[in-house]
Structure 1
């Protein structure tokens, strides 16, 4: 039996076994699907029950947490109130104020300081009132003023203090105060602390403390906002069932009316109550020191909505489980056929579609072996591609730069191995592509990104070129790419050149579209022989300088190089003189018109001649303008340096024109400023006059910029600006330099004491002088004296 027959027999047996198992698998699949449906229903029911129970428990826990938090806040306020009472009754400043027999400014100031200290540590205390019954005055912390009792705005507080029975019956519990007109909710809760001594007309001195009621409801608002149960409403009642405050749902428009309806159900023992036509689940507690009642009203509609949502989610879970079960059944069926499919691919010599794990050890071993072979082949293929690419790049770069040291026979073997024998046998055309604005592209990309860009350019050029020609593309230098194209033997040169131009246009469009930069191309005439590659590369690369005339993305043919003027360009002396005259007059537009005439034929010259001419032109303009405006010598020099530095990056005529335009515009702006202020033309004389005044009057201690400006009849700002522009020093610095030089002279050549020397140079003897002396000479005054005394002794 042959191997083919054996394989055929084995696969035949496998197919028969698969056919026999298929009916059993159908039964098993149906049974599994039925079990899945039953399991899904049971699981969904269980999940629904668990979710509903969890939801109910969560609502209860959430409500209990809110109620407990408010009870805690009430107990906390009670503790703070007791602690505050102890502080107030033991505070000498406050008690002294309450015992004053007559008004006292110092007493109210002391009491105000003590109250402010207390308020800093208790931010939830809104205000404190100190009532002195003897002088019938009340200090208010919120206003900081002391007013008579009958002038207090809170009339309810006034009535309580006027009522002797209130002081006797008050049990220390806080009372609501400052009711909101719209909701009749209390804004504060008030504690009254009566002082038994000092009663006048049955009125007692008292301390009234207002706590911000938000300290009770803020925990409720915070916890409710963080929980899912944001539809609940909470109201707080005091021991007499008076409405204090509440946290109501935003959907309730009439909060006052709703609160009144809810208060009617406060004493009802029912859990489910109707408020404003809507049914609520009511829970509450009064487990606190004050016996206050906190009621929670949760709409039944929101609870049922949550239950309905849970049921829908459970239904979706059931559907999802059924879908997953169906796919599991289908996958199990497909898995039975995978070994047969895999072996079929092996017999046919095909690679498997994917790498899968099978239950059978033999199948798994076969699949792992085939997959390993497939991956190894892919790695080998990738390595061969990379090695060939690198070898082609290296070999072709050596050929065009004439660095190939191997003998011709070795070169032939290398080209034959790389499949590049057409370079030796046929006619060739070389094209050199160059990145436009390479420095700009380089500055905006990392080294890895630049490598990827070059690799992409080579692939684009070679892929597009290979569609029409036999060609090879490779990168050269940092910003150049070379395409070697074989000229078809049956094609005339005109048609070949037209096809090349279409290729260049397509390459430039794709580079601009996908890589976001442009390239200029120059191509050579048709030649033959690898030994001529270096010569034609040099000529074609030099032709790229013609982009100075034709601009970016140009295609330069070999005939355009003949248009370059071999003679050194000489610009017209007449136009140059007109240019300088217009610039000297500050007329930029007129000067630019002359410049365009002057450089009309400049860009027909060689690249090096163009740049040299621009340098000569800029230097000539600098000399002419500096001669007429000496004060502009430095800014003109800086502008000329910018022109020369910019020539390194200049690639096209527009770059040269922009450099010249900026140079001329800057010069005209400086000249216009001088013309608008004629005094600047006399700046050298003014500077000389300022120096003369300083040299003559440096001994005068009052000599300064203002005095010098007054002597020459100019403003201080303008005088200082002109002087610093020409000397690079301020007038004060120059005056200090002169005086310091004189001090050094007297120390070196006389034995005068320091006081006399300073009088002669207009300086004062103080610590600042010693600091300036050390900063100026780099050593202290004592070291300076010793240095020159030692020289004198020598």
Structure 2
């Protein structure tokens, strides 16, 4: 039994605890109730911005892809004839158009490719529609492109031009009326306006559409791209591409904020909505997402209802608990202190999480990097860095990431990543550096490093030395292999985002140095400064050797081209691999009919800038060497049927037998031999230094000269006997080869023959 004094004391404690619980729950509930809407809006905005930020990269990828294809087409040897000559042989046109089709078929997002010869006023077209491959400019179905090419100064080279490709009026069974495309123009700005040839690559709008609004009408949100003039540059499930959105209040509000991102709530088409928009990217495009407010308010209403129920329940439970707890207050004081300790630990953990999130946003460029405001943030979260002093970024990347995720659970991987972070921070702090780091992603840990003594010499060498020690400690204690890349030094904290990107870019050079390497950005930047020129001559030589079945030479040339990129940037390596992969793909496709291996020998793939890419240069080249070995094996198995050494002799024999046939052509010879036209052309050129068409011309000319001297047949009949079916072309070709007309040749050589006969 409690005494009267204890009862009064107990009553005061009970009353104080009850009032504290009631007041605390009421205040907290009120604050949460009031702030639910603001928090929900902010969360929705953050999620949307993350999604839109990822989508902005797709436009860059599209531009780079289209630019690469346009430049490859422009430098293609076959297609150069279409650009540079007004009178192109039909055989060369056929070859070039096939090459255009090869380019188009390498990507499912290419709608069509045009080659425009300004001098000939001719379009050469590769498209999936059933249309002709050659159009006179006046008859070309893409009227808008004709007008654009007549006013090239109005368009930037290799920049996307959103437009609707009209295909009405075409013959055939084409059901479409229009296609949404992004057109990329490549033309020579130094040429006179009237002679500007052009390459046009039309990219399907669906490439971006599937990343922007792939869910279509199943998603209540509406997402689209907007240019600085207020026109849509992508389709949405509500509006078609190129719709003029100016005049609507929410679009005008976005256009009034030309350089920033943000969100606001406003009625859109009569529906209250959350409008989120990004800042313009380098193309001047902005990403806009409209989400009906009911989607957000539905969650808010549910949360509000749950909060009220939980609050009342907690309040009632708290009153009951306070009654029993207050009676045991004296005997259970140690338990209460323990609970307070646990609450303190939870608060510390929460502060640590907020610290990591702040550092992560700072490195990603999502946080304000003004030194004055960063100083306040550092003080709030206990970060021991000076925002006004020079900084570096140390990036640690887990090697062999696929094995890493297979060997450990999600929780274990998280612990190991924090283990790497703690080892790095402790070792750098012990070495006299200030360090603060965070886990950036699945396989990346970044540490912002600062020398405590700003006048310290050899700071770069010291960082690299300690990077090696960190690697050794991680291997010893965590049994992990990591690659460390260091950025250059920045003037103050404002440079930290750029330094982080610099370190990430340097980490891609792991392909050259291998896992467990230390990569310095200064070395990488020096390599980037060196201009890289892709060796097209070696690529051509490699393809020629491949057609000649000289696999050892193919391996050697491949190794030379790839290994040369070690002296340049990682982008140079990517460029070389892309060029070689495309060239080898075309070559194997040409050889496929003869070797029957086109479906068996696939070009090794390589992901761009992904953590799944863990191969060294040697391992990557090994996969290609294996491809060449398999190709050589198929060649050996087919040597009994098709020996390349006598291909040229068989071609010459066929020409000597069939030169009288005016329809004799490269394709006819290829059909006779059971080989591809490209292949026999390369083999004949390689072994005789002549083209097949040139040799046909030579045999026919020899026969014409013989008949002109030895017979008195009319010149027209002689031309037909030699296989020339076109008299004007025959006379022109004869004079080009002999310097005189057929009649003059007969007169001169006939007179010489008579003189020689008289001497005899």
TM-score of the aligned structures, taking structure 2 as reference length:
0.37
Q: By percentage of residues, which structure has more helix? A: 1
TM-score of the aligned structures, taking structure 1 as reference length:
0.36
Larger radius of gyration: 1
